[in-house]
């Protein structure tokens, strides 16, 4: 029988879900005060210089409400008109030109103690046929995607680090970049078998953390007992699995918590979709970072606290 769950904090969770759709949540008074860096001079041909905050707000609204460039411009113009705000709005070409130059900081709530990080990646489609045509006629040469590599806090579900690559990068190649982007102390790093490489263990050890990576099914011992030096953590995991089974190793090591990363990927695509609208790589990376930042803000105001109902 499938387990059933109930939510303890339903009233707070319900209020947070409604706040996610509120325009005042994404565009407060501070944003409007900092909208312009340079005021209109009144001279013919004078340009308006928008702040990075204004561009980021536009890009967040565009991603959150899944708007095209011109639709986003019209959307914000109508909001300003309804609010009787006398501010110009960046056009879609200005938004596209400025997007790749933004530096995005992921909003993360402070936490005492070291963190348990789960690392995984997902593909985000740039262009190409839909799933139905792919099944019917195969994949064309033009079908491509970007890979979003995430480091997620196991306890809070917040995204602590995000790295964007092309689709020809292996997950293990990007692990060090994800770990180096996390400034807080790390207690444990959990990944799937794609990270079962020596350098991944070394990179995790360099952060002073415990590596929880399932060895491959055909894995061999790296460092036998008759060799000098401390036993390798991966060999210890492999010996435990051979003795007690993979299921018990996953339970005892806390590996099952890696599903938090998959939950984050599902939440990301459910809210923002699985496609990118930008066409240049820098813009695509910033678009994904903005979505990660928005997802963190959503999690911080509305996260269910659920428990399993006993049959």
Q: Give the pLDDT score at 116.
A: 94
For residues 308 and 7, give the distance between their C-alpha atoms in angstroms, rounded to a whole number. Answer: 9
Q: Classify residue 275 by its DSSP letter.
A: B
pTM score? 0.85
| Structure token pair of residue 36 | 């312009």
Q: Give the pLDDT score at 269.
A: 93
- Which residues in the chain show pLDDT less than 50? 132, 134
| Structure token pair of residue 63 | 């991603």
Domains of the chain: 7-99 (no CATH), 115-276 (3.30.420)
Helix (H) or strand (E) holding 203: helix 198-206
Q: What CA dihedral angle connects 233, 239, 240 and 245, to 10 degrees?
A: 130
Within 137-241, strands assigned E span 144-153, 159-166, 186-190, 210-212
Share of the chain residues as helix, strand and coil, in percent rounded to the nearest 5: 45, 15, 35
Q: Give the pLDDT score at 21.
A: 82
For residues 208 and 25, give the distance between their C-alpha atoms in angstroms, rounded to a whole number. Answer: 38
With contact defined as beta carbons under 8 Å apart, do 50 and 35 qualify? Answer: yes
């Amino acid at each position: 029988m499938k387990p059933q769950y109930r939510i303890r904090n339903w009233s707070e969770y319900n209020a947070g879900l409604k706040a996610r759709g509120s325009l005042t949540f994404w565009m407060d008074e501070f944003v409007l005060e900092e909208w312009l860096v340079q005021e209109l001079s009144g001279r013919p041909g004078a340009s308006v210089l928008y702040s990075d905050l204004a561009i980021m707000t536009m890009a967040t609204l565009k991603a959150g409400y899944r708007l095209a460039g011109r639709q986003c411009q019209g959307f914000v113009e109508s909001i300003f008109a309804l609010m009787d705000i006398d501010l110009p709005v960046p056009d879609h070409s200005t938004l596209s030109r400025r997007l790749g130059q933004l530096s995005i900081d992921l909003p993360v709530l402070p936490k005492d103690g070291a963190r348990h990080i789960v690392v995984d990646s997902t593909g985000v489609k740039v262009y190409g046929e839909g799933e139905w045509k792919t099944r019917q006629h195969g994949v064309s040469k033009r079908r491509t995607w970007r890979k979003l590599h995430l480091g997620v806090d196991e306890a809070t579900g917040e995204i602590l680090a995000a790295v964007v690559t092309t689709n020809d990068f292996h997950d293990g190649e990007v692990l060090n970049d994800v770990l180096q982007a996390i400034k807080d102390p790390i207690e444990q790093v959990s990944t799937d078998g794609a990270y079962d490489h020596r350098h991944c263990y070394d990179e995790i050890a360099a952060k002073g953390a415990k590596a929880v990576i399932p060895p491959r099914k055909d894995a061999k011992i790296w460092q036998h007992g008759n060799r000098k030096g401390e036993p390798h953590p991966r060999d210890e995991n492999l010996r435990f699995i051979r003795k007690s089974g993979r299921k018990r190793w996953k339970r005892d090591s806390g590996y099952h918590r890696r599903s938090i990363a998959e939950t984050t990927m599902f939440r990301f695509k459910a809210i923002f979709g699985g496609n990118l609208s930008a066409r240049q790589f820098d813009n695509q990376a910033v678009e994904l970072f903005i979505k990660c930042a928005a997802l963190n803000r959503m999690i911080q105001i509305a996260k269910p606290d659920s428990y399993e109902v006993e049959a």
